[in-house]
Amino acid sequence: MTNLTEDLKAEAMPGGGNDISARNEFRRRSPREQKARTVNVIVYAVLVVLVAALMVPFIWMVSSSLKENNQVFTVPIQWIPEEFVWSNYSDIWTRIPMMGYLQNSLYLSVIITVLQVLTGSLAAYGFSKVRFPGRDVLFLCYIGTIAVPWQAYMVPQYIMMQQLGLTNSFNALILLQAFGAFGVFLMRQYYMTIPDELCEAARIDGLSEYGIWARVILPLSKPALASLALLTFVNTWNDYMGPFIYLTSNRLWTVQLGLRSFVGQFDAEFAMIMTGSVISVVPILIIFLVGQRYFIQGIATSGMKG
Amino acid sequence: MTTETRLRAPAVGPDPKRRNTLKRGDSLHRGNRKQARRNTLIGWTFILPNFLGFLAFTLIPVLAAFALAFMEWTSFSAPKWVGLQNFERMLGSDSFWIALRNTVIYAVGHVPLTLVLALGLAMLLNRKLKGIGFFRVAIFFPYITSLVAVAVVWNMLFSPTDGPINQFLQFVGVANPPGWTSSSDWAMPAVIITSVWRDMGYYMILYLAGLQAIPTELYEAAEVDGASPWQRFWNVTVPSLRPTTFFVVVMLTVSSFKVFDLIVVMTNGGPGRATTVLSQLIYQEGIGEGKFGYSSAVSLVLFLIVLTVTVLQFKIQQRRER
């Protein structure tokens, strides 16, 4: 199978399919294998076209961010700018307080992620490795609230924050988002797959429960911790409704709010708007490329075992 | 829920109650009393940091939302119990029905399209090829891109006059391409297309996980029996994926009824009220205008819809399994 796919890669290259060596190889293969090869070539072709089509919004975003405003909507579309207007990327920092927005987003994302991962993994240990009366009912409460749409209780949350005098502050968002049930759920699903015998053995060796959590479970659950941390970070970074409801002063705005307000104020500055969009996406792209494995694992675990 | 809690598990509750309930739990019997008490204490210390936040900022607001729906409470008046009055007003309100209709239309468009495309992509990507990982990652990426950027870019792509999408449509021979977000008929389809593009990568991952769990022997056996690819799809793949599909349908429906930020950023409910959805109505009435009671009544309806859909699909799933 691996040989086959390696061959295929060479064949999928332009012009690689028709040379003599490939023909000779074909002769040695059974008809069935040949058929599989043809199918694979077609799949490659379809995938390339499909992914290119799906990436159009991103391509257009980057290309427009390097144009003058009046070059963005042209007939026909210019996929590559006539001349690259790199100055968009230096001007945006003075047009809007982009640096401040990035700092705010980073601050919120880091604090919320740290709290969520820490409290989530602690609670997950309690829910999966310690037996005590009421544990499962309590966990049901957690699951139950995941099923309730957040929109259904955002008003009581808002009233509460208003009473506490926390509206228009980061603290409101941190308190609301750092103790989510989802994190506990995700970590518990993972901890359930770690055999209890490991904890038993550690108990016999004289480790306390906190010791087991810190020295046995945490090191074993690195992939799940990474999943949760990445998902939380990205969610917080991308969150629009939370900051939209709670942060009213410009100096507290996150990248998402800043970008949205920029679009509202200067709706004809197409190029600059795209520049801002690119800047808001780049951190996510980097994080995603570094940790894509964990994103996908996190989704597959929390999704399928629910 | 509360009675059950008290019967089976006395330990649920805030901190001060704990000692009390523990004694009750112990007196029931339990071999090693000391050990049980120690476990409870240890268990709670693990859970407590998260639970305090969860209790205060999720559980209590959820419960409060139910109570608020039956109260008259605005930012100018004190809370007062009014029974079903909020619901009566809601059922007689134009904007409620419009928002409900739009939400249902969105769900009807978003759920099947995303499902079919996600499954198709997963089938296409479920093979061992060099570089397949790249394609998977690329298709998944829109899902984690910030919503504001997505909405802003698609708004421009959908631009009625010189936007790339309409240029393309004209190129393939559509004489009068739609006005998309500036037209009340086409704004919802534009939102649906954007959301399908964004979400299908996520559900594709779920389907990929499902596909990879199907034993290859099933396909081999079907092939030996002379089943065509199409028959193999309908008789092996589809039934084997039923649990995944159930989960995907539930998730998709629930998320469709919750749709909020995409619409706020892309169309803000417009033009007119063409894309106003339930969540937005809750926001406008509750946080925008301070009608806490009334908006909670709308919230309750939203929750009941989501709950009904989930339970219904659960029943269908159970019947099929029999």
**Which residues of chain A does CATH 1.10.3720.10 include?**
91-304
Region A137-148: mean pLDDT is 83
Confidence of residue B101 (pLDDT cuts 50, 70, 90): very high
pLDDT value of residue B175: 77
B223 contacts on A by Cβ (under 8 Å): none
E strands in B47-206: 71-72, 80-81
Residue whose C-alpha is closest to residue B35's, from A195, A130, A127, A135: A130
CB B70 within 8 A of CB B82: yes
ipTM of the complex: 0.77
Instruction: Enumerate helices (H) and strands (E) in chain B, giving the number of each.
Output: 17, 2
Q: Long-range CB contacts (< 8 A, 24+ apart) of B237-242?
A: B237/B123, B237/B211, B240/B210, B240/B213, B240/B214, B241/B119, B241/B207, B241/B210, B241/B211, B241/B214, B242/B317, B242/B320, B242/B321
Give the whole-angstrom CA distance, residue A162 versus residue A172.
9
Write out the two tokens for B263. 């619409």
Q: Which 3-state string (H, E, C) describes A126-167?
A: HHHHCCCCCHHHHHHHHHHHHHCCHHHHHHHHHHHHHHCCCC
Given the candidates 3.40.50.300, 1.10.287.3510, 1.10.3720.10, 3.40.50.150, the CATH classification of the domain at B88-321 is 1.10.3720.10
DSSP sequence for B145-163 = S-HHHHHHHHHHHT-TTT-
Region B3-21: mean pLDDT is 38
Substitution target in A2, A155, A279 with the highest count of B β-carbons within 10 Å is: A155
The CA-CA-CA angle for residues B303, B309, B310, to 5°, reads 90
pTM beyond 0.95: the answer is no
The domain locations on chain B are: 2-68, 88-321
Which residues of A, range 156-215, sit inside 8 Å of B by Cβ? Answer: 156-160, 175-176, 178-181, 183-184, 209, 213
Closest CB from A122, A135, A149 relative to B258: A149
Give the whole-angstrom CA distance, residue B187 versus residue B184.
6
Tell if the CB–CB gap between A238 and B144 is shorter than 8 Å: yes
pLDDT value of residue A108: 93
E strands in B168-245: none
pLDDT value of residue A303: 56
Give the whole-angstrom CA distance, residue A233 versus residue A32.
47
CATH architecture of A91-304: Orthogonal Bundle (1.10)
B157 contacts on A by Cβ (under 8 Å): 56-57, 60
**B108 pLDDT higher than 90:** yes
Substitution target in A153, A255, A280, A302 with the highest count of B β-carbons within 10 Å is: A153
State the nearest Cα–Cα gap between B80 and chain A, in angstroms: 15
CB A142 within 8 A of CB A181: yes
Per-residue pLDDT tens digits for A248-269: 888 889 988 888 888 888 777 8
Give the whole-angstrom CA distance, residue B213 versus residue B241.
9
Specify the DSSP class assigned to residue B175.
Answer: S
Chain B residue nearest residue A270, CA to CA: B156
Does the beta carbon of A143 lie under 8 angstroms from any beta carbon of chain B? no
Per-residue pLDDT tens digits for B258-294: 888 889 888 887 788 888 898 888 888 888 888 888 8
